[in-house]
Structure 1
Amino acid sequence: MITSVRLTRFKRFNSTNIELHASGLSFLAGGNNSGKSTLLQAIAVWEFCRFVLEMEKGRASLQPNFPGQGLGLSDDEFSPIAVASLKHLWTNLKSQIAGEEGYSLAIECRWLDGHGIEKRLKLALALTNDRLFIKAADTNLVVADELPTVAYLPPFAGIVSRENQMSGAERRSMIGRGLAGGVIRNLVLDMFQANQRERARLKEGKTKIKNSDLAKLRKEDPWEILQSTMARIFGVQLDVEPFNELYHSYIRVKCIKVVWDGKKFARLTNFQPRDLMAEGSGFLQWLSVYTLALSPNVKTLLLDEPDAHLHPSLQSQLVDALEDIVGSSGKQVLMATHSTEILRWAEHSKVLAFKGNGAKYLRHDDQKISLFIGLGSDYAPKIDPLRKSKCMLIVESDSDARLLKVLAEKLNKEWPKGLVVWPWTGGSVERKQLFLQLKAEVPELRALSLRDRDDLELGQVDKLTLRDKSVQNAEANLLLRVWRRRHIENYLLWPEAIARAAEKPPQEVIDLMAEHALVVPADFASQDVAEAMIDARGKELTQKGDRSIKAVFKVQPIAIAKAMQLEEIPEDIKVLIDQLIDMCAQDIAPANAA
């Protein structure tokens, strides 16, 4: 697999060498136009040029001292990636460099062979009169060397209602132009037909396939893995109609709804099969990525934002599925992504961060935080307001901040103007790192971090200030605060307020809480409230399950907050809001006073 890529005048990289993990899943991360897609495209162009040289001039054209001339291609024969014109392959569109030979663009890939010996192939490109010329500029290959096999998949697009069977060149052209959807049935058909041939081989001379052979097939065969995975995640299996190229014009693939009956996936009898095109873009994106990843012919897979159409849960499942594939096959997958959800949980050593004129794998987990700041994500638009206000509230979700704002109004407190709300689900230590990274961008930054106590020991929260005592070495201008009650929703569990919001008698609310073994005491607002009130699972009680307040009374936490009266608001809420207002109104005290 590819261990490094050296680029000379390719797109945004004038002279760059990027080291890569030779196997496993790498996440390419960085802001827009940082070079993630450029690296993937460079490898795709290298693969295309290698392939056409070998096909047109033989393997000898990839070996040292090949005497032949470069191979010429017209622009319509160039298909690995979509470009407005071939000039766009060159840095700053300058394909002719004064005083240098015409082959001014170069892409070199290096990899290790089966004996651990480094192999290299540098391909150079020239452009003359709108015609592209390709040659091997430097190489140490011999005839017997095995080369990496590469597949490039841009963001999913282009599915059509009728798909012909295509040659390899036609498929490569479609995918290179960003129309992977236009070949998805071809990919599925190839995998299905290979499975049918293997099943016929295993059954040869027998009435049925041996159980041991069938179990092995289901565990290792790409089509079997694809079918079981799509059924498990989407409740769908694929039905490929027989195809004979002599008299069938189009490939037909339909989706069948299935359910797991405890032993196998069973087809839903009242569901009519429908064409792939009827499925959502997320399903089709998932299918195209997974099909290529399972292909035994692909050793290095280049994925450009395969998560673009996927819900966060599907993003996570796709990453898990890819990890399983690379773990069992040793494949190399390079995945460009803007998903902070994926990157947050990825091992830092697998994140290839693009910055300036290059890219390097992260050495420490906290480096991911500074990476997020530069991403084209939900967080990036917050930086400019933060530079202006210099005041930030870090919460687990935007809804927490909305609750606080409503309760501040109930207390006749003015919510700080310009306060930037930053959702971040990490713990206090991770939030401290976030603060330090942001402080590098905004030196005068002041922040209050607020999170649920969850399972943190109550003794780790200061009773008077709500300070998180579990974190040592406090930072100046950063207030790390934790609710004394388990969840912020615990501060809303006052039956009279819930009854007003739901327009129900208070007794109905009291009875529902009794079902959850909770009796709300009269001193609900006190910091010395009973421990049962402090440790209640307020999030579940208010929002989760068939017998939650949300399910029974049809009210959200924000509605309860709006229904609360001044004297019903707990003391912890008042303490926290006062600290937030003071922080935004004046400088914070030194760290040892935090």
Structure 2
Amino acid sequence: MRLSKVTLKRFKQFTDDKVHLRDGLTIVAGGNNAGKSSLLQALAVWEFCKVATVAEKGAEALTQDGLAPLGLGVGDDEFSPINIPTLNHLWTNLKSSKVPGVDPDGYTLAIGCWWPDESGAEKHLEFSLSLANDRLFVKVSESNLNDGDRVPVIAYLPPFAGISAREERATGAMRRRRIGEGLAGAVLRNLLLDMRLANTAKRDELAEGKSRVPEKDLVKLREEDPWELLQGTLREVFSAEILMPEFNEEYHSYIQANVVKGNVEGFKLTRYPKYKPRDLMVEGSGFLQWLSVYTLATSPAIDVLLFDEPDAHLHAALQAQMVERLSQLASQFDKQVLLATHSTEIIRTTPPTEILEVRGRSTPRFRYLVEDEQKVALMVGIGSDYAPRIDRVRKSKRVLFYEGKSDRDVLRALATVLGATWPTNVAEWQTSDHVKERKIVWRSLRSEFGDVRALSIRDRDDEPAATVDATLHDKNNGSEDGFTALKWRRRYIESYLIWPEAIAAASGKSLDEVKGELDSVFGFGTIDANWTKSDAADAFLDARAKNVLAHFGVKAAKVAKKMPEHAICEDIKTFLAALNDLSS
């Protein structure tokens, strides 16, 4: 069972929005404050409203025949699906009051879910919320459900769900309530115990009348059983297993779930010498996050899984691996998974059609990506309401791509020496990416903000000198209308700073000492006016000037500030002219 559509009215960033959802795994991505987490939180609140309504009024209250004008009241101490300072933080701009003529009954916030039933007919259920005297009121405002219709079960896992030190055995109804309240971590051991008991029963069934489980049945069990899949993953990823002692409800008060680690060979884990099993509470946050995600993903009681940055406590190497396995589990166990993330590693490795972009200021507010190129916009922060660099591009429609902060500082210093004004209407974009990647970013910016023009400058490094001429245009990476690709003729920008007087002034050494060392150590015997020409000698074009400056213990920007005007190379002037054209 999956959700096909969600509608949101006055919930956090969403004033009146809807999003269509796909089957299986969806990566929810977008800029800061775009609404990724808010989308998941809205669904968590919807599940809470459903659970609370059923608990207080019965399942009939969800049907079209059970609609009532009055809702049920919830105190702020009873509201648990998401963590907020006060209940009015659920509303857009914290304004819960009704708008005359629009909200006649005072229920001003609404969250609705649509899903197809087994016959393909579309079902929907909407809850509306009101706030009065610091008390939250919830009612079913729309429904086409009939008695007996199945309603999706949603589980929300915050960035790190709290796992209690002690956990009592809970009934199925209580576990569902805890999950609906956003407290999945509080029943993790219960879910694990259910999985282990089901596995034990299945093994007993397969071994009935036999001395052991037949190999062909064991192979199938390991491929399909949730407990087997969980243990196999823990062995592979963490060299660990979950050990659960017997639980007897007659005399055991708390469920034990211990972690044991050791050497893994195939399906067998041999415990490390003298290793003592320990409660899962003492394990690292990455292990617990993975365990929580995997346990919920294989639980038969849950239809829709909401994971808010489950990668936050994982090493980058494990992030993409978790998503890959979640995708497999979603397909195998017929789950719908929404996973909100900032991880560029996850975005990079996920097919674009599985990525739902949440766009803070744009229309449409939600969109599934189509092309890999669109992922770049997410990774560089396009769509974020709080990205100063992006905001400058939005306003100026001009962007300078450069390699390092030192490069920018050198160019600014040389512009000052020449009496040139450094433009203030160009967004500066530091990146070590190649020109191809810079073009993708530029196309994304242009797609988002209109006619954006860009200038790219980078070092030649070890590329042949013939790949760039006196115009500085990069022959290997042609410019496009709106994008100018330049490259230094010399190996890198520091190669324009080998001027004895400037190095002497920056290092505190005498001019004679600097000239002598330039000659004896680096072979630069004569540095004169020819050095400033674009067509300089090969020794200057290929000079490893970073080593030269390091030898004298000086920073490039400090040398640049000491350069006399007549020593500044033609290439620098060519670049500054291109920058001036961009800014005009």
On whether the aligned pair clears a TM of 0.5, the verdict is: yes
* Mapping for residues 111-150 of structure 1, pairs under 5 Å: 111-150=115-154
* Mapping for residues 16-415 of structure 1, pairs under 5 Å: 16-21=17-22, 23-66=23-66, 68=68, 70-75=70-75, 76-91=77-92, 92-99=94-101, 100-166=104-170, 181-261=185-265, 264-354=268-358, 355-356=360-361, 358-374=365-381, 380=387, 382-383=389-390, 392-393=400-401
Deviation at 1:171, TM superposition (A): 5.4
- Distance, in Å, in 2 between the alignment partners of 1:435 and 1:80 is 40
Deviation at 1:364, TM superposition (A): 3.5
- Distance, in Å, in 2 between the alignment partners of 1:589 and 1:406 is 17
Does the 8 Å contact 1:87/1:95 carry over to 2?
no
Amino acid aligned to 1:478 = T
Q: Are the structure 2 counterparts of residues 262 and 285 from structure 1 closer, same or farther at C-alpha, using a change threshold of 3 Å?
A: closer
Segment drifting more, 45-54 vs 307-316: 45-54
Amino acid aligned to 2:96 = K
Find the residue that maps to 1:188 and give its secondary structure: helix
Segment drifting more, 271-280 vs 329-338: 271-280
1:549 maps to: none
1:474 maps to: 480
Amino acid aligned to 1:65 = D
Deviation at 1:6, TM superposition (A): 0.9
2:558 maps to: none
Does the 8 Å contact 1:156/1:285 carry over to 2?
yes
Amino acid aligned to 1:152 = Y
- Distance, in Å, in 1 between the alignment partners of 2:20 and 2:337 is 14
- Distance, in Å, in 2 between the alignment partners of 1:214 and 1:13 is 49
Deviation at 1:165, TM superposition (A): 3.3
Q: Are the structure 2 counterparts of residues 236 and 228 from structure 1 closer, same or farther at C-alpha, using a change threshold of 3 Å?
A: same
Q: Are the structure 2 counterparts of residues 247 and 365 from structure 1 closer, same or farther at C-alpha, using a change threshold of 3 Å?
A: same
Does the 8 Å contact 1:338/1:375 carry over to 2?
no
- Distance, in Å, in 2 between the alignment partners of 1:143 and 1:176 is 21
Segment drifting more, 290-299 vs 85-94: 85-94
1:5 maps to: 6
Does the 8 Å contact 1:424/1:431 carry over to 2?
no
Does the 8 Å contact 1:31/1:376 carry over to 2?
yes
Q: CA RMSD in A?
A: 4.5
Deviation at 1:588, TM superposition (A): 5.5
Deviation at 1:373, TM superposition (A): 4.0
Q: Does 1:430 align with 2:437?
A: yes
- Distance, in Å, in 1 between the alignment partners of 2:37 and 2:325 is 22
Find the residue that maps to 1:65 and give its secondary structure: helix
Amino acid aligned to 2:50 = R
Deviation at 1:36, TM superposition (A): 1.5
Question: Which string of whole-angstrom CA distances, capped at 9 and with x for unpartnered residues, describes residues 522-580 of structure 1?
Answer: xx979999xxxxxxxxxxxxxxxxxxxxxxxxxxxx989946999xxxxxxxxxx9798
1:534 maps to: none
- Distance, in Å, in 1 between the alignment partners of 2:206 and 2:489 is 63
| TM-score normalized with structure 1 length | 0.71
Q: Are the structure 2 counterparts of residues 17 and 49 from structure 1 closer, same or farther at C-alpha, using a change threshold of 3 Å?
A: same
Deviation at 1:319, TM superposition (A): 1.0
Does the 8 Å contact 1:450/1:480 carry over to 2?
no
Find the residue that maps to 1:587 and give its secondary structure: helix
2:467 maps to: 462
Q: Are the structure 2 counterparts of residues 238 and 469 from structure 1 closer, same or farther at C-alpha, using a change threshold of 3 Å?
A: farther
Q: Are the structure 2 counterparts of residues 562 and 446 from structure 1 closer, same or farther at C-alpha, using a change threshold of 3 Å?
A: same
1:511 maps to: none
Residue 586 (structure 1) aligned to one of 569, 577, 580: 577
- Distance, in Å, in 2 between the alignment partners of 1:339 and 1:483 is 36
- Distance, in Å, in 2 between the alignment partners of 1:48 and 1:112 is 21
- Distance, in Å, in 1 between the alignment partners of 2:36 and 2:167 is 31
| Structure 2 unmatched ranges of 5 or more | 412-416, 492-537, 555-567
Find the residue that maps to 1:316 and give its secondary structure: helix
- Distance, in Å, in 2 between the alignment partners of 1:3 and 1:460 is 57
- Distance, in Å, in 2 between the alignment partners of 1:578 and 1:180 is 65
Deviation at 1:301, TM superposition (A): 0.6
- Distance, in Å, in 1 between the alignment partners of 2:260 and 2:548 is 45
Q: Are the structure 2 counterparts of residues 301 and 227 from structure 1 closer, same or farther at C-alpha, using a change threshold of 3 Å?
A: same
- Distance, in Å, in 2 between the alignment partners of 1:166 and 1:578 is 77
Amino acid aligned to 2:285 = S
Q: Which has the larger radius of gyration?
A: 2
Deviation at 1:384, TM superposition (A): 7.2
| TM-score normalized with structure 2 length | 0.72
Amino acid aligned to 1:126 = S
Amino acid aligned to 1:308 = A
Question: Which string of whole-angstrom CA distances, capped at 9 and with x for unpartnered residues, describes residues 279-310 of structure 1?
Answer: 21112111111111111222211111111122
Number of aligned residues = 504
Does the 8 Å contact 2:128/2:140 carry over to 1?
yes
- Distance, in Å, in 1 between the alignment partners of 2:327 and 2:461 is 32
Segment drifting more, 256-265 vs 298-307: 256-265
Question: Which string of whole-angstrom CA distances, capped at 9 and with x for unpartnered residues, describes residues 114-134 of structure 1?
Answer: 232222122223344444443
- Distance, in Å, in 2 between the alignment partners of 1:66 and 1:160 is 37
Question: Which string of whole-angstrom CA distances, capped at 9 and with x for unpartnered residues, describes residues 101-122 of structure 1?
Answer: 1333222111122232222122
Amino acid aligned to 1:121 = L
Q: Are the structure 2 counterparts of residues 586 and 172 from structure 1 closer, same or farther at C-alpha, using a change threshold of 3 Å?
A: farther
Q: Are the structure 2 counterparts of residues 216 and 564 from structure 1 closer, same or farther at C-alpha, using a change threshold of 3 Å?
A: farther
Deviation at 1:330, TM superposition (A): 3.1
Q: Are the structure 2 counterparts of residues 299 and 468 from structure 1 closer, same or farther at C-alpha, using a change threshold of 3 Å?
A: farther
Does the 8 Å contact 1:122/1:138 carry over to 2?
yes
Amino acid aligned to 1:103 = Y
Deviation at 1:459, TM superposition (A): 9.8
1:515 maps to: none
Segment drifting more, 63-72 vs 221-230: 63-72
Deviation at 1:217, TM superposition (A): 0.9
Find the residue that maps to 2:66 and give its secondary structure: coil
Q: Are the structure 2 counterparts of residues 239 and 468 from structure 1 closer, same or farther at C-alpha, using a change threshold of 3 Å?
A: farther
- Distance, in Å, in 2 between the alignment partners of 1:194 and 1:484 is 69
Q: Are the structure 2 counterparts of residues 172 and 154 from structure 1 closer, same or farther at C-alpha, using a change threshold of 3 Å?
A: farther
Does the 8 Å contact 1:373/1:380 carry over to 2?
no
Amino acid aligned to 2:430 = W
Deviation at 1:25, TM superposition (A): 1.4
Q: Are the structure 2 counterparts of residues 47 and 578 from structure 1 closer, same or farther at C-alpha, using a change threshold of 3 Å?
A: farther
Q: Are the structure 2 counterparts of residues 172 and 144 from structure 1 closer, same or farther at C-alpha, using a change threshold of 3 Å?
A: closer
- Distance, in Å, in 2 between the alignment partners of 1:149 and 1:296 is 10
Does the 8 Å contact 1:155/1:304 carry over to 2?
yes
Does the 8 Å contact 2:125/2:140 carry over to 1?
yes
2:455 maps to: 446
- Distance, in Å, in 2 between the alignment partners of 1:424 and 1:329 is 42
